[in-house]
Structure 1
Amino acid sequence: MTIYRHQRNYGCRIHDQYTYLGMRVLVLENEKVRISLLPDKGTEIFEFLYKPVDLDFMWLTENGVHNPNSYLPTSPDPISTFIDYYAGGWQEVFPNGGSTSSYLGARFGQHGEVAHMPWDVEVLEDSADRIRVLFRVRTKKVPFELRKTLTLQSDSSTLRIEEELENLSDLPLRFMWGHHIAFGKPFLEPGCRINLPEGLTVLTEERSLQAINLGRVRRGDVHEWPVAADEQGAAVDLSILPARDARSDIVYVTGFEKSRAWYEVENGRRGMGIRVEWDASRLPYLWYWQEFGETKTYPWYGRHYNVGLEPFSGYPTHGIEKALENESAGSIGPSQTISSWLTAAPYPLNEK
């Protein structure tokens, strides 16, 4: 049942009367945070503002937000179809992760389907103490329904996301599922620290899958977080962000407790951090994407300094075919529904 919104200027509030570049905008806010997302573009979160210090944790690319209906891609490349509209921020990725891949005859572009699809919206609760909003979408290529409920409590900076995935067929199915969360300016800068639990393993792609540009970390090796080795065997501390123009890279962190995983990104100069926790039983891998301005070609052209810290069901970024080969792809039984959850919370370092 939809609960009618009240025009409050205190406590928790929902704003759903606006559009941005022709797309619906939904804003959740309270005394501490303002979170803005686009239901017409995959529920993309393009703002996560911590009000006490006016700091937005969601990175925006130099191209910013685009409406997928306002631009016809000039190439048939299924990777550029995602990248040309990529605004930074936070996307839901499903049922394919990473580059072009195929599954059961369905051909996926970059990062699957739901990141650019319009989602249905239903307000479940709207009070000064708590707001809850349900989003749902059905994929086109494989029979799934994905549902998620976002909750925000009064006087709390924590956004809670509870999700359900339903298999709409009588067949067992596989998938890649993840949260593509990217951090950049104004929050992120050289010297920021990434905190993770102890005892984690860092995985890399095989050398045969290596990108054209060499990364910071030697390919084909397994490392123990946070120290990896470069091609010459020198130590690379992945927990401290390097100077601008350091080599770009991506690695995969795993070994989290089955019930709960977490990371923190902290900026000591600004005195602020953000903590993300999630259900490691569903998303046991953390993709750690690094773009520090070294890439001088499409699509970055040396303009960005950012990282993605992305909880995922499988790896690598080469799509579901590779995840099926290494047995990391998620699975769901016939007509089954499975659940997951995730939270994100900015915080001042002096209150940690």
Structure 2
Amino acid sequence: MSCTDLEAAELSSSTLTARVEALGARMTSIRHGSTAVELLARHDTRVLEAADRPALPDGHLRFADGWNVLIPNAGDSRVIDGVEHEYHGEAARRAWQLSVSANAVTASLALRSLPLSLTRTTSLVGDSLLVRQTIRNDSDVPQRFAWVEHPVFDGALLSGGGAVRVGASSVPLVQLGQGGFDSARVPAGCACVELPDARLALRLHWDPHVLPHMHVWQERRSILGPPWFGRVDGVGLEPASHGPGDPEFGLGPLTLEPFGTLESLLRLEVIEAERGESPQPVEAAQ
């Protein structure tokens, strides 16, 4: 069923529920059923609404929670070939068309800043959430762009002095009142972290040939001034097409040939501890 005016849609499996909004095809909730734990960071909706006001440049607040997709630009606004590309890209700020089936939500959008068409399908299978992103070049010339997945998980769930396993290495989790940013190439295409208080663990898989980098962004109420004023408590696990900073060329390293298509799948596993046991350590695939 296609619903051009649908503002949001929900999915559920035996283990998980998820909510996808039309605005930005943004996922605003991933909830684990048996524990009733909300996995994504969620902040005051009045703060998020303020993010779109011109008085707050670049709308940083919108990206402090939920799961956003950043295409065709990731990072500061920039002008390429005479076209201005917004902070973190057009896709996160436009209303997508939602189509709902029995077990999936598909969001579709034709960009205005580049001749790219985006299709994003979110589905739930047991204890896994799947996101299949397709990007099509609708023109007869090559198109260069960036792509970053931007899920931000509830910082309170990740507290306790643990670490995010990123490939063969690890990134320590900061304490409340601190922040941090780490980035590395991850040939394994996998990151994982334990949520001991919730008795859960998360394992995120992606295609490292498309998104070879992983950013770990941590903001645990460390910024007391604008734009967040101590309101943000989240940890972002962000598969990315390129490392931090400005891309070497144009918007980013990904290129689609004329009328070409790129498709890639991300999978988030939510692993529950057995009754009376602690979550088993999760290791990233080597």
TM range (shorter): 0.7 to 0.9
User: Using the alignment, how far apart are the partners of 1:249 and 1:289 within structure 2?
Assistant: 6
Amino acid at match of 1:24: E
Matched-pair contact (CA < 8 Å) for 1:61–1:86: no
Task: Specify the alignment match of 1:334 in structure 2.
Answer: 258
Matched-pair contact (CA < 8 Å) for 2:11–2:104: no
Amino acid at match of 2:181: I
Q: How does 1:10-89 map to 2 (within 5 A)?
A: 24-39=7-22, 41-63=23-45, 66=48, 73-75=53-55, 77=57, 79=58, 82-86=59-63, 88-89=65-66
- What is the RMSD computed on CA atoms of the aligned residues? 2.6
User: Using the alignment, how far apart are the partners of 2:47 and 2:190 within structure 1?
Assistant: 28
Matched-pair contact (CA < 8 Å) for 1:136–1:148: yes
Partner deviation per Cα, 1:68-96 (whole Å, 9 max, x = no partner) = 8xx8624373x2xx224446110011000
Q: Structure 1 segments of 4 or more deviating over 6 A?
A: none
Task: Specify the alignment match of 2:284 in structure 1.
Answer: none
Q: How does 1:235-254 map to 2 (within 5 A)?
A: 238=171, 240-246=172-178, 248-254=179-185
User: Using the alignment, how far apart are the partners of 2:52 and 2:18 within structure 1?
Assistant: 29
TM-score normalised by the chain length of structure 2: 0.86
Change in 2 beyond 3 A, CA 1:148/1:65: farther
Task: Measure how far apart 1:100 and its partner are.
Answer: 1.2
Q: Decide which structure has the larger Cα Rg and report it.
A: 1
Matched-pair contact (CA < 8 Å) for 2:15–2:127: yes
Matched-pair contact (CA < 8 Å) for 2:167–2:186: no
The percent of aligned pairs where both chains have the same amino acid is: 21
Q: How does 1:220-299 map to 2 (within 5 A)?
A: 225-226=169-170, 238=171, 240-246=172-178, 248-257=179-188, 261-299=189-227
Change in 2 beyond 3 A, CA 1:339/1:114: same
Q: Note if 1:160 corresponds to 2:160.
A: no
Q: Note if 1:92 corresponds to 2:75.
A: no
Task: Measure how far apart 1:174 and its partner are.
Answer: 0.9
Change in 2 beyond 3 A, CA 1:49/1:25: same
Change in 2 beyond 3 A, CA 1:325/1:143: closer
Amino acid at match of 1:251: D
Partner deviation per Cα, 1:232-289 (whole Å, 9 max, x = no partner) = xxxxxx2x3132223x2322121414xxx11112122332111111111111111111
User: Using the alignment, how far apart are the partners of 1:171 and 1:25 within structure 2?
Assistant: 34
Change in 2 beyond 3 A, CA 1:332/1:29: same
Task: Measure how far apart 1:190 and its partner are.
Answer: 3.4
Q: Note if 1:107 corresponds to 2:88.
A: no
User: Using the alignment, how far apart are the partners of 2:215 and 2:228 within structure 1?
Assistant: 19
Matched-pair contact (CA < 8 Å) for 1:146–1:166: yes
Matched-pair contact (CA < 8 Å) for 1:163–1:339: yes
Matched-pair contact (CA < 8 Å) for 1:165–1:337: yes
Change in 2 beyond 3 A, CA 1:93/1:151: same
Task: Specify the alignment match of 2:241 in structure 1.
Answer: 313
Partner deviation per Cα, 1:122-164 (whole Å, 9 max, x = no partner) = 23x42xxxx13322111111110011222223xx021112221
Task: Specify the alignment match of 1:175 in structure 2.
Answer: 145
User: Using the alignment, how far apart are the partners of 1:97 and 1:309 within structure 2?
Assistant: 15
Moved more, 159-168 or 42-51: 159-168
Task: Measure how far apart 1:49 and its partner are.
Answer: 0.3
Amino acid at match of 2:183: Y
Number of residue equivalences: 275
- Unpaired runs of 5+ in structure 2? 281-286
Task: Measure how far apart 1:328 and its partner are.
Answer: 5.9
- Unpaired runs of 5+ in structure 1? 4-15, 199-224, 227-237
TM-score normalised by the chain length of structure 1: 0.71
